[in-house]
Amino acid sequence: MFLIIFIILSQGMMADAQKKNCPHKIPIKGSYCIPTKCLDMCKKQHGTLGSCSEEKGFCNCACK
């Protein structure tokens, strides 16, 4: 019984840790962001959608 409770609690903590790393940021080369390029990079690296970041030089990829 204790083992089941421990597993459930640890899964919740792992999910919280993953949310803190969201959105995934991918550095881009060049001086400006191209939305279609960000979308392609996010699909290849994370399997999710992506868009240009407000912070220059990065794409934001959504979390699963």
- pLDDT block averages, 10 residues each, the chain of length 64: 51 50 84 88 92 87 88
**Considering the domain boundaries, does residue 11 fall inside one?**
no
Predicted pLDDT at 10: 52
Predicted pLDDT at 42: 94
Domain count for the chain? 1
**Considering the domain boundaries, does residue 13 fall inside one?**
no
Q: DSSP per residue over 1-44, as a string?
A: -HHHHHHHHHHHHHHHHHHHT-SEEEE-SSSS--HHHHHHHHHH
Predicted pLDDT at 57: 86
Predicted pLDDT at 1: 61
Q: Pick the closest to residue 45 from 29, 26, 23, 17 (CA basis).
A: 26
Q: Which domain holds residue 54?
A: 23-64
* Contact assessment for residue 58 and residue 21, using Cβ atoms and an 8 Å cutoff: no
